[in-house]
Amino acid sequence: MTTVVLEKIWKEYGDQIVLENIDLTIESGSFVALVGPSGCGKTTLLKMLLGEERPTSGRILLDGMPLKPEPDWDRGVVFQRYSVFPHLTVLGNVLVGREFEKSRVLGRLFGINRAAAIDDARALLNAVGLSDHENKYPAALSGGMQQRLALAQALMRKPKVLLLDEPFGALDPGIRAEVHALMNELWVEQGITVVMVTHDLSEAFRLGTRVIALERRRNRPEEKERYGATIAHDIAVWPPKTQKKKQNGSALVEEAPPLIAADVSAAVH
Amino acid sequence: MRIINRHPSRGLYILLATLPFIALAVTYAIGSYQRLSINPADKILPSVTQMMAAMNELMFVQDKRTGSYLFWSDTAISLWRLGSGMGISIAIALILGVTSGFIPFVRALVKPFVEAFSLIPPITILPILFIMVGLDEASKITLIAVGTAPLMLRAVALGVEEIPREMIVKAQTLGASTWQMITRVVLPQILPKLIVATRFALIPAWIFLVSAEAIAAVSGLGYRIFLVRRFLSMDVIIPYVLWITLLAWLMDLTLAMLQRRLFPWFQPEQKS
Ligand SMILES: Nc1ncnc2c1ncn2[C@@H]1O[C@H](COP(=O)(O)OP(=O)(O)OP(=O)(O)O)[C@@H](O)[C@H]1O
Ligand SMILES: [Mg+2]
């Protein structure tokens, strides 16, 4: 079970108050879509969850414990760009999380360990529809393929929370729909908790179980700096979406791969 | 159509590219012919035959005093100095460049110092080196290292800082330690840039090599050029200059090829 709690979060950059008084509890297994006008602080909020930025005041709890003040394996991420490593092949990009985990000094796996990691990586690549491309470098993939690769790469490490910052913002509409289907399947199958920043309301409602809208209450130019954005709407999406299994520890990914593979590739193709 | 939008065909490109070389060679040949027909003993613009004769002596006739073939021993010693100097500065650039580009504490320690240090014109350090480490190999190698290391270090550090922040954050979310990020994310991405930096650094490296050899040495390509200058031996100087140019060009070519071979992902287009 993974619960993220934000308590009275304020964020200021110098004199500018960006976010004020954010109180939010994200339940395990939910898919929170974060929307709001440009510059209102969505990325800033995500960066605080990531540990890249600290709140000016307030605190963030992950499963009741204060969040580590730097990015770590328990929070996976997919950015709009630069999410995969250009010097690794598709397979290498997915493997690397396991290699970081299991081989602290060399950062590389050999023999049976490597074979086992490759099996898991292939299952994920199959799930995101990239099985046929495992030896390509990211530069040879389309934008949509790169983002699917980034998802597989993040899921390999089995993060407690998956953070997405406009992951599909740069994709054209057709590919976007395809990746939405995939994202939904991954969420249903893997029992993960997701926080996704997006500009696209329909995307927010299609994927999210809950849509949070950030907004500045006062927007007069002379007041802009002094008042930050806060949660203006908190909408439970109807009809409710449910994950296939209730999340009960991290064993899920391990027991499920063949199933995911079949289901998701059916959804993607 | 505007001239900027018009491109020469492949054949025309080759023709245009070779034109300046041919023009230079022809101009030289004419000049040489005219001077020699007026005064056969003229030394300023020797003919190709004269140069070949002089080089034959240096390449294939044992030197009476040292027992070596001067051209080849000059080449070997110069390449050794150049290689050692560049080797040292590549090592410095990699170790300090990567750590100072990646770890804020090391950056604070290294960056201002290197920036100040790189303002010293390297050639002015040469007398200091001669006094401190003597006139032998060490001073020449050090000069090349001192002259190129700051340049390369800065290029590498900059390359590390240019790695998108997202990628470093991503590595951390995959659980990577600082060491793992250096070995598996930073180094592999910096190596092609290191090769680019090495190609650039080779230009000043040659300058420092030849200068050091000209000032204090008893062997080497630069030494020979400045030695025979006293006798106006253009028939040796010109082939030596051409030879150095050829060596520099071959090194550059090798590095460019290495970069393409070793780092296929670094290229914009990609064949799968
Ligand atoms: N490092 C920083 N230093 C100073 N101000 C910053 C910094 N990062 C963000 N800001 C400011 O904080 C505000 C919120 O930025 P943020 O990037 O979070 O917006 P956003 O909601 O993600 O916008 P967009 O939808 O355009 O991505 C902006 O006004 C921005 O200028
Ligand atoms: Mg943003």
Same domain for B147 and B33, yes or no, is no
**For residues A30 and A210, is the Cβ–Cβ distance under 8 A?**
yes
| A257 pLDDT more than 60 | no
The segment with the largest mean pLDDT, out of A68-82, A227-241, B77-91, is B77-91
Instruction: Indicate the CATH number for domain A1-75.
Output: 3.40.50.300
| B62 pLDDT more than 60 | yes
- Rounded CA-CA distance B100/B117 in Å is 15
For residue B48, being part of any structural domain is answered with: no
Same domain for B139 and B256, yes or no, is yes
Alpha helices (H) in chain B, listed in sequence order: 10-38, 48-60, 70-102, 104-117, 125-133, 137-162, 165-173, 178-181, 187-215, 221-228, 234-262
Please report the pLDDT score of residue A174 as a whole number: 82
| B67 pLDDT more than 60 | yes
CA A48 to ligand 2 centroid distance, Å: 13
Domain with B7 in it: 3-37
| A259 pLDDT more than 70 | no
Residue A78's alpha-carbon distances to A83, B46, B171, B173, B196, in angstroms, are: 6, 68, 11, 10, 31
The segment with the largest mean pLDDT, out of A15-19, A137-141, B105-109, is B105-109
For residue B17, being part of any structural domain is answered with: yes
Please report the pLDDT score of residue B267 as a whole number: 65
> What's the mean pLDDT in B169-193?
95
**For residues B84 and B141, is the Cβ–Cβ distance under 8 A?**
yes
Same domain for B27 and B118, yes or no, is no
> What's the mean pLDDT in A193-201?
92
Report which ligand 1 atom has the smallest distance to the Cα of A41: 18
> What's the mean pLDDT in A92-112?
92
> What's the mean pLDDT in A26-31?
92
What is the tally of structural domains in chain B? 2
Kindly report, residue by residue over B210-253, the tens digit of the pLDDT: 999 998 888 999 999 999 999 999 999 999 999 999 999 999 99
Q: Given pLDDT bands bounded at 50, 70 and 90, which one contains residue A249?
A: very low
Q: What is the DSSP letter of A137?
A: -
CA A184 to ligand 2 centroid distance, Å: 22
Kindly report, residue by residue over A63-101, the tens digit of the pLDDT: 989 998 999 999 999 998 888 999 999 999 999 999 999
For residue B28, being part of any structural domain is answered with: yes
DSSP string, B12-60: HHHHHHHHHHHHHHHHHHHHHHHHHHH-TT--SS--HHHHHHHHHHHHH
What's this model's pTM, rounded to 2 decimal places?
0.84
Q: φ, ψ for residue A31 (rounded to 5)?
A: -120, 100
Please report the pLDDT score of residue A179 as a whole number: 87
Whether A40 is in the pocket of ligand 1, judged by its Cβ within 6 Å, is: yes
Kindly report, residue by residue over A6-24, the tens digit of the pLDDT: 999 999 998 888 999 899 9
B204: domain CATH number is 1.10.3720.10
- Nearest chain B alpha carbon to A162: B173
Q: Count interface pairs A-B at CB distance under 8 A.
A: 95
Take residue A74 and report the two structure tokens written for it.
Answer: 């328990």
CA distance B172 to chain A (A): 5
Q: What is the ipTM of this complex?
A: 0.85
CA A44 to ligand 1 centroid distance, Å: 6
Residues facing A77 on adjacent strands? A163
> What's the mean pLDDT in B76-102?
96
Domain ranges of chain A: 1-75, 82-160
> What's the mean pLDDT in A30-44?
92
Same domain for B75 and B18, yes or no, is no
Whether A80 is in the pocket of ligand 1, judged by its Cβ within 6 Å, is: no
- Tell me which chain B residues have a C-beta less than 8 angstroms from the C-beta of A250: none
